[in-house]
Chain A
Amino acid sequence: MATTTTMNKPEMKPDQPGAKSRIDIRDLLVRYGFIAVTVIFFVYFLATIPAFRMSSTMFSMLKFTSVVAIAGLGVTVTMVVGGLDLSVGATAGMSVTVAAMTMVIYAQQGSVAIIAVIVAGAVIGAVNAIMIVWMKIPDLLATLASMFLIQGLKLVPVDGQSVSSGLILRDGTVAPGKFTPGFLEINRGSLGPVPYPVIIFAVLAVLTWFLLSRTKWGRVMYAIGSNPEAARLAGARVGRYKAFAYMLSGVYASIAGLILASRIGQGDISAGNSLLLDAVAVALVGTSVLGAAKPNAFGTALGAILIGILLTGTTMMNFQYYWQDVVKGLVLVVALIFSFTLSRRKQRFVAAVPL
């Protein structure tokens, strides 16, 4: 095998046969290892858990994954430009409260709530962008600060309470509205057998993948994440692209929050608390898919699905809840080994803050 390769390309320096085949195995591992792990677990659960085989299980698993996956796509976009948005969990949590306030306290339609939530997400992205691009605060620190701000400020207008229909307002009256049936349909409805959240996830994943890997804007964003000075000297307006990435991340987090709000059906103030770490984890896991060694939308989507498969499978096998974090941690370690230890690529994505 190695000799034929050498003969086909006589102009290349012949590699030592032994070294060549070893490196081939490593390349295969780096490229397909992660997908192989996903398939192995999937097949294993299919074979051993009868309930896992039902298509309703598949879709509920994907539906359950979609919130993390969508927030993870936003994180991915910020990682591509060399940053990291730590405020996605808080933004999604705030979206739940904003949606509840719009419908319950202000008695508005579900469509108004959707618009309010997405606008709020974009505003948070814009605030992050202002801190990072114009005030030059490092990405991690700026978004950490905004995370705390959002978590606290969202409680001010609701006096720290979860908003549900029948809430007694400050002036003693009862809140006039409720979660509209249309809004609840976001989580409950489906197109044929496919739940809406899965459709939203799939559409956003494809759009993000297309933006990042098929358009000139995506190309520039990767350049900025890899070498911002080279990007600037080639004419990229680095600040605008970073601002765009954070606004997109804010919008994605708010969409994740919409699904969450629709699922919970009330303005739960603790919603979204665990979302940040899960979203960052799937984005990091995604860097290892197909040997990309860089953040990418396809990898993030697949990473979210793998974690979904594992969590569903282990839950069905009656593992205790605390094994969930062990599973996530293991997936992350294995993925990072593919990305960092085994990959021979010199250029990996650079952390937002040099530590």
Chain B
Amino acid sequence: METAVEMRGITMAFGPNEVLKGIDLAIEPGKVTAMLGANGAGKSTLIKVLSGVYNGYGGTVIIDGAAVDIDHPTTARHHGIEAVHQKIADGIVPGLSVAENFLFEGIVNNHVSRAASLRSLMPKAREVASVLDLDWSDEVLRSDIYGVPIADQQLLLLARALVNEPRLLILDEPTSALSETEAERLFDVVRRLRDEGVAIFYISHRIGEIDDIADRLLVLRDGVIRSDYEPPFDWSDALHQMLDADEAERPQRTTELKGATEVLHLNDVQLLPKSIPFDLSIRTGEVTGVFGLLGSGGSQLARGIFGADPFETGEMKLKGEAYAPKAPADAIASEVYMVPEDRIAGTIIKDWTVSMISTFPFLGAVSNAGVLNPLAEARVGRSVIEGFNVVAQSEADPVMSLSGGNQQKVVVGRWLREQPTVMILNEPFQGVDVGARHELSEKAREVAAAGSAVVVMSTDLEEIMQVSDRVVVLADGNLRHDAYLSETSRDEILQRLSEVE
């Protein structure tokens, strides 16, 4: 079998944390090899090893029968490996023209003079553009890069990667910023490259897309390749391999809460620009788990209910009355709370103590006529520490000195001192150790049992199985499934998730 790039026993560790545990993979030319994997499976680490961003990996990369050491992006390029990374903004240079962006690699390496007039750059820029048959006019080439559509920026990056005629082209979530028609254009290009014999390594979370374009599907899990499929792909099995746990690792749950009272109703809510609006009912006395792959709309749902960002379209009713929060402050006034997915960016003020973080949303409760009462603040800090078993010496510890799990307990605990109406936890278990995950999960269930509506968003099926009573499955912003865990099964959940539209 002919191979473009072969990996044997590739390992990569960051300190004690082993991310890649021995990847054996031969990528063939003239094929689109797709890879699917949950968060933390090791996809981006593998891409970075292959494209020379990380060195110090274990194992061998073989090209043309010889072992090569890819220790730098230029080495990767020299061996014909090019990567187009997920963030378009990382690849283009704002303030420069389209032509200059085409030639950026040359400008950096001083092959192309920056002082040269734009006119003199045109022929070279057109050479790069011609790799993809991009028939762009002089006017487009002269214009500022931010003036052209994002799909064209993506094509520009692709052309730039192709100018060196790579044997292996790595595309990391290439359609995440593109509309459907723009994505179609990109696929046409990918197919053409494949037919010309380029090996394409395609990383995506979008099942429909992979089904459409890939010739081979791999599932990466915990740093190893778990399974390998030929078309037509067995999606149900692939998603099991990607997300499902072995019998022994499954969390054991005995009780199921079933709420009776609808407290929040979503009416014709549309989460993503292309998705189909749906209705959803959130009930008190149960934990609703919202499950979906990355980018499937869970965050939009959480932020929409909390008033942090508006929905594309749709309305809500809280306790039967119109509810349209324009800002989180409005949601909080209605006792609707949210813990955001990015803990550091969304909740932490870096030099603050545990008690300052704890009291922040409800400063009125620890002040008199606006004047803060340090004793009351310390009391709240201590009650969060005690109520959530936070490992800290005292409430005056800087919050940044705590471990991730303990920080998370603080930012969850601060909302739960009184019974909320709706408590949304967006990816509450990310960067949280197993012990803290268990405790947070139990707390969420206690709060629901006491009469709140609790909603947990997660991309991890095990977390959903552990914490929720009812599961709502989202895919590309569409509602795929809504059932109590006792009335559904892992197979059905993954089946619904894997349906290709």
Taking beta carbons and an 8 Å cutoff, which residues of A are in contact with B? 11, 214-217, 219-220, 222-223, 226-227, 229-237, 293-294, 345-347
Contact = CB atoms under 8 A, between A and B. Distances in A.
Contacts of A214: 371-372
A226 B350 contact: yes
A216 B329 contact: no
B308 A232 contact: yes
A229 B308 CA distance: 10
Contacts of A216: 363-364, 366-367, 370-372
Nearest to A347: B350
A347 B351 contact: yes
Contact of B327 (A229, A232, A345, A346): A232
Contacts of A346: 350-351, 400
Contacts of B345: 227, 229-230
30 contacts: A214-B371, A215-B367, A216-B363, A216-B364, A216-B371, A216-B372, A219-B360, A219-B363, A219-B372, A220-B363, A222-B349, A223-B349, A223-B352, A227-B345, A227-B349, A227-B350, A230-B345, A230-B346, A230-B349, A231-B349, A232-B328, A233-B306, A233-B346, A235-B329, A235-B332, A235-B361, A236-B329, A346-B350, A347-B349, A347-B350
Contact size range, B: 20 to 34
Interface in B226-263: none
Which 4 A/B pairs are nearest by Cβ-Cβ distance?
Answer: A347-B350, A216-B363, A235-B332, A347-B351
A233 B328 contact: yes
B50 interface: no
Contacts of A219: 356, 360, 363, 372
A216 B349 CA distance: 15
Given A222-B349, A232-B308, A233-B340, 6 more contacts: A219-B363, A219-B372, A230-B347, A230-B349, A231-B349, A346-B350
B340 A215 contact: no
A348 B245 CA distance: 44
Contacts of B371: 214-216
Interface string B352-375: 100010001101101100111000
B348 interface: yes
A267 B306 CA distance: 53
Contacts of A234: 328, 347, 360-361
Nearest to A210: B371
Interface in B399-440: 400
B364 A230 contact: no
A346 B352 CA distance: 11
Given A214-B372, A216-B372, A223-B360, A235 B349 contact: no
A51 to B, nearest CB: 43
Contacts of A227: 345, 348-350
Nearest to A218: B372
Contacts of A217: 370
A53 B149 CA distance: 71
B195 to A, nearest CB: 45
A233 B347 contact: yes
Given A215-B372, A233-B340, A226 B308 contact: no
A269 to B, nearest CB: 40
Contacts of A235: 328-329, 332, 361
A11 B328 CA distance: 40
A326 to B, nearest CB: 33
B351 A345 contact: yes
Interface centre among B360, B361, B366, B371 (most CB of A within 10 A): B360
Contacts of B364: 216
Given A215-B367, A219-B356, A226-B350, A233 B338 contact: yes
Nearest to A225: B349
Contacts of A233: 306, 308, 328, 338, 340, 346-347
B465 to A, nearest CB: 28
A345 to B, nearest CB: 6
B359 to A, nearest CB: 8
Contacts of A237: 327, 329
A85 B144 CA distance: 32
